[in-house]
Amino acid sequence: MLAATLGFELRIATPKGYEADAAIIAQAKTMAQQSGATLMFTHDPKIAVKGATVVTTDTWASMGQEDKKEERLKIFEGFMVDDALMATAHEHAIFLHCLPAYRHQEVSESVLEGSQSVVFDEAENRLHAQKGLMVWLNRQRKL
What is the enclosing helix (H) or strand (E) of 65?
A: none
Model pLDDT, residue 63: 83
pLDDT of residue 9: 97
Domain with 21 in it: what CATH number?
3.40.50.1370
What is the pLDDT at residue 106?
A: 96
Burial (CB < 10 A; 0-12, 13-18, 19+), residue 93, is: middle
Distance CA 108, CA 80 (A): 7
Q: Are residues 70 and 100 in contact, defined by beta-carbon separation less than 8 angstroms?
A: no
Query: For residue 101, what pLDDT is reported?
Result: 94
Domain ranges, residue 91: 2-142
Q: How far apart are CA 80 and CA 107, in angstroms?
A: 5
pTM of the full structure? 0.88
Mean pLDDT by 10 residues, the chain (143 residues): 96 96 96 97 98 96 88 96 98 96 96 97 95 95 84
pLDDT tens digits, 37-46: 999 999 999 9
Cis peptide before 100 (omega within 30 of 0): yes
Domain count, the chain: 1
